[in-house]
Amino acid sequence: CSLHGFDAGEDLVGSLASMSTNERIKAIQKLPETMRKKREIRNEVLKEITKKSRHRGARPSCCTECLRGAAVSFQRFGHTLSEYFQQLQIWHKSLKIIGAEFGTSVLSYFVFLKWLLNFNVFSFLINFGFITVPQFLAAEPNNLSFTGLELFTGAGYFQQTVLYYGFYTNATISKIESGPSYNMQLAYIFTVGINFVICFLILLFSMAKSFYRNFSNPQAYSWNASKLLCTWDFNISNEKAVKLKQKNLSTQIKEDLTELHKEVQNFSVTERVLRVAIHFLVWVASLGTAGAACTGVYFLSINNLELFMKGYRNDQENQAAMLVLPVITSLLNTLIPFFFSWLGHLEKFQTPGQHIYVTITRNIILKMSIVGILCYYWLNIVATSESQCWETLVGQDIYRLVLVDFIFCLLGSFFGEFLRRIIGTTVCVNVGLPEFDIARNVLDLIYAQTLTWIGILFSPLLPGIQMIAFFIVFFVKKVSLMRNCQPPRKVWRTTQMTTSFMFLLFCPSFLGVLSVIGVTVWRLKPSEGCGPFRGLSSIYAAVSEWIQILESYTASKWVVWVYHNLIARELFFFILSVIVLIVIYLYWQIIQARKTMIKRLHEQIIN
């Protein structure tokens, strides 16, 4: 038997050595062996390849041997590095633990948070590389003193730094005379524009991928059977990993069983009328609360601007007044969702999914209405004020809103979950441990990301600040979840929840932000004394002037043609939108046909 195994091993190594590099890597990955055994097989294959190359023809030159050895060493280093990078993904293990303990509903929040974190890393790197780094070369020394209050207000010392729009120059940066130059106006508008275009494409691709995986993938219908028969990974040998995998599978099977055994409750006419009346009253209370909150934010912002323009007797009053608007706004965004959750419990929905989706809808109405009021205040009141640099004022407002919202998010975990656990385990034992509020926490993320997107034009480094905030929130929420919360009382499957989160992030959040940025770029006049677009009639005028310069160069005629015939024409975007809608319609029809075919095949299997 051992001799037979030895021959089989030699045959395996020989067959792998005859493959191409990509085929060999895929074949080794698919082997049902442990990682240590796979590494040993890979090393044997590389030795076999080296041995065969030495026996072929004449002895290769020293240079060829050195290059081949360097290539093999580099390949081994790459494999080792990729393995270490997989181990360094600090949230990989955390996500597995959360999914095993609390199910896919709570896990979807943390997956969404990780996705947003990667989003902000990408935006920060683009802005820092193409806007901030060139500005460092032309930056003048900052003469303002740093007191520490700037970390909370965003004003003072930070006002003369690369954090805000007003600090950036409108000149062409060139360190060497008659050398290469860097047009800051074009760099600023193209970097922000390309950033939004890439974000738009990533959002569309992610939504389409998630939609296909959770709504239209035929494998989803046969997943229940394969989960029982083919899911277990026999390479797992660590005891902790085995227990975690068992918990994860147990939770998934419970979710699938709950999905299969849904109970449809039949209500009498009186009960239906009563339920409709309760839903109606709750919606009236929710919309009335959201309207009152928006009215309060509007009048507070108007009053705050008037006080700011008049000035204060000392710097402390000035700093305190700057924090009034973000504190009140964040307080409303934190307390009202708790009220919405309480109203949702009064409605007594049949499934947890209905409760979560309705609460998310009410929260999105509240938060997007408040953001809409703030955008109206910034674009119609602050932009027309007598301020020397209204863009920096808007950037400071958004910085304070992001920072205070982050602080209130941490306080919400403390008061909403930690104190609730203390009360539920000591004072009122009948209350019990709290459940993780998915709707409220998801809408907090969407609200924070919306502010970040709006602030990119006025504060290019804002994605970096939000990146740090999301990183801290991930681990604070994870610790709070594991220590203070209990798993959902009703286990249910949420394969489509991440897709819903992405859709809410896209519409109304991202599309609303594009509208705000469009009005700012095309309609509003930039400040006369600050920023890269000072002295222009609009931010977009920088592009028009650049096109006029390109018209005098023969090599750039194609750029001018693309601008005049495509970008500057509404007809082009209309035709493009029609094509996209047609593709979406065809794709939807294909999905419906697949679902019908899968349903018929499923019926045939039952028969």
Q: Does 73 score more than 90 pLDDT?
A: no
Exposure letters 167-204 (e unless 16+ CB within 10 A, then b): bbbbeebeeeeeeeebbbbebbbbbbeebbeebeeebe
Distance CA 353, CA 52 (A): 61
The residues near 223 (Cβ < 8 Å, ≥ 6 apart) are none
Dihedral of the CA atoms 16, 22, 23, 29 (nearest 10)?
A: 80
Distance CA 464, CA 128 (A): 9
Which pairing describes strands 172-173 and 182-183: parallel, antiparallel, or unpaired? antiparallel
Strongest mean pLDDT among 51-60, 137-146, 169-178, 284-293: 284-293
pLDDT of residue 100: 75
Instruction: Please name the amino acid found at residue 599.
Output: K
Cα separations in angstroms, 532 against 91, 132, 526, 540: 40, 12, 9, 12
Q: How far is CA 434 from the centre of its chain?
A: 26
Per-residue pLDDT tens for 555-567?
A: 888 888 888 888 7
For the ranges 60-69, 159-168, 351-360, 363-372, the lowest mean pLDDT is seen at 60-69
Per-residue pLDDT tens for 156-201?
A: 788 888 999 989 988 888 766 666 788 889 999 999 999 999 998 8
Q: Does 472 score more than 90 pLDDT?
A: yes
The DSSP H or E segment spanning 366 is: helix 352-377
Per-residue pLDDT tens for 397-444?
A: 999 999 999 999 888 887 777 777 888 777 776 767 787 888 788 888
Task: Decide: 524 and 236 in contact? Cβ < 8 Å.
Answer: no
What is the average pLDDT across 485-505? 71
pLDDT of residue 170: 85
Q: Does 294 score more than 80 pLDDT?
A: yes
Instruction: State whether the Cα torsion 117-118-121-123 is positive or negative.
Output: negative
Task: Decide: 496 and 215 in contact? Cβ < 8 Å.
Answer: yes
Strongest mean pLDDT among 208-217, 300-309, 405-414: 405-414
Q: Does 155 score more than 50 pLDDT?
A: yes
SS3 for 574?
A: helix
Q: Residue 287 phi/psi, 5° resolution?
A: -65, -35
**Which DSSP string do the residues of 73-125 spell out, in sequence order?**
HHHHHHHHHHHHHHHT-HHHHHHHHHHHHHHHHHHHHHHHHHHHHHHHHHHHH
- Please report, for the chain, the start and end positions of each structural domain, with discontinuous segments joined by +: 105-536
Q: How many CB atoms lie within 10 A of CB 472?
A: 12
Which two structure tokens, joined as six digits, stand for 447?
């609200």
Q: Residue 114 phi/psi, 5° resolution?
A: -65, -40
pLDDT of residue 371: 93
What is the average pLDDT across 123-147? 86
Q: Does 383 score more than 80 pLDDT?
A: yes
Which two structure tokens, joined as six digits, stand for 334?
């934190």
Distance CA 506, CA 183 (A): 32
pLDDT of residue 356: 79
